[in-house]
Each structure stands twice: as C-alpha cells, then as structure tokens.
Amino acid sequence: MDDEPTQPEDSKLTRSKRAWAHEGRFLTGKTARPETERLPPGQHLVKNWPVLDLGEQPEVSTAQWRLDVAGLVENPRSLDWNALLALPQTERRSDIHCVTTWSRYANDWKGVSTRDLMDMVAPKADAAAVMLTSYDGYTTNLLLADFAAEDAVLAHSWQNEPLATEHGGPVRLVVPHLYFWKSAKWLKRIEFIGSDRAGFWEQNGYHMRGDPWAEQRYADD
C-alpha cells in the first residue's frame, strides 16, 4: 500500500497538453462567478461525454478493485467493493468542466460522499491536502477544502448505470467545482498529506488548483 506510484509513460496527448500549457492555449482572460454564470469562461457545451486518457484504460473488475485511504488519518482503511457499497450512498447532480474547453451539464452521480469518507478515516489536524492515485499510475492533488466540497463524491454510477471503464469505472472522484482533470479516474489510493504537492498534470504545466471560473488552466508564470 505504501509503494510509490508509477507515473504514466509520455504520450502524444501528454506532449500536446504540455505544449498547450506553455502556449497558454484556450485562455480568454475572462472571469466568471459560479453563483451567477453556469458556463465558465472559454468553455463550450457538449451533449456527449468525450473520452480523454493517457493511452491506457485499466480494466479493473469490482472483484479486484480496492481503495486504500492512508497518510495523515487516524483510521487508515483499505476498502473492497462490498465495503464501499456498505458506506452511506449519496446521489448528486453536477456539471463537468474539462480543461480542454468542453462542458457537460446535469450529470447524475451515485457513490460515497468525500465528507462521509473523511468522517470514517478522521484526517489528522496537520492534513492539508490529498494526493489521488489511479490504477493507470495517474496522480493529481487537491487541497483538503476542495476534496471536502459538499458535492464531491467517489462515484461508481453515472446516469443510473455503473460507471463505464472509459469514464473511470469502477470508481472515480467527482469534484465538480474544479476542472475535471482533478477528478481522478480508476481511483486506487487517497493519501492525506501535510502540504500540497504536484501530481501528473501539475508537473506538466497545469495549475495546482484548477478553478474553471478563474480560468486556472495552467501554472502561474
């Protein structure tokens, strides 16, 4: 459980998005407020759900799946599928905003609220952030306050169906108020950490937080 994650191999998508970060691609310089505007600046609506990954879609059955929750917590846990389903189940409806400029409205999720997960593991007082690790080796970071957002959920279902592999099933994180690269697919490990540190895309030129309404697509110069 304490093994260091293996980072995904460099890919055409990685190289392209690294170049976008260097160029500041898609930036409009505008700002918006989520309480008054539903579509963040620079975004366009889609009705389908585009698939983006790093070239690998790990096939993890519910029988094989396990989520380790570790780090700065009082009660570390390693959850199998039955243990996840035994936790309180939450339903949420939220929008998706991808850093590649598409947004999709009104997605229905079912899973475990991150707040319920935190109640179970009890983060220590010095926990300030989380590092998420996926079954494909992907990592991304979140401040604890963002991870604990009211509508954040460890989702196993979308639109009343099991979450498809291509979209991160069996389980992915959904944090709707941030760009969707922060909502790690194929979730394998959640580590509570004492200070924020960069994950995969954050090491490749993307913003440490990723607020769509502030257009935090890329790292500050």
Any idea how long the chain is?
221
Amino acid at 143: L
- DSSP H/E element including 81: helix 81-86
In a domain, 172, yes or no: yes
In a domain, 139, yes or no: yes
In a domain, 219, yes or no: no
Q: What is the CATH number of the domain that holds 77?
A: 3.90.420.10
pTM metric for this prediction: 0.84
In a domain, 145, yes or no: yes
By residue range, what is the domain housing residue 189? 12-214
Domains identified in the chain, total number: 1
Measured CA to CA, the distance from residue 129 to residue 147 in angstroms comes to 8
Backbone angles phi, psi at 70, to 5 degrees: -145, -170
In a domain, 7, yes or no: no
pLDDT at 5 over 50: no
In a domain, 59, yes or no: yes
Amino acid at 51: V
pLDDT digits (tens, 9 = 90+) for 104-147: 999 999 999 999 999 999 999 999 999 999 999 999 999 999 99
Q: What phi-psi label fits residue 214: left (phi over 0), alpha (psi between -120 and 50 degrees) or beta?
A: alpha
Strand pairing class (139-143; 77-80): unpaired
pLDDT digits (tens, 9 = 90+) for 176-185: 999 999 999 9
In a domain, 20, yes or no: yes
In a domain, 221, yes or no: no
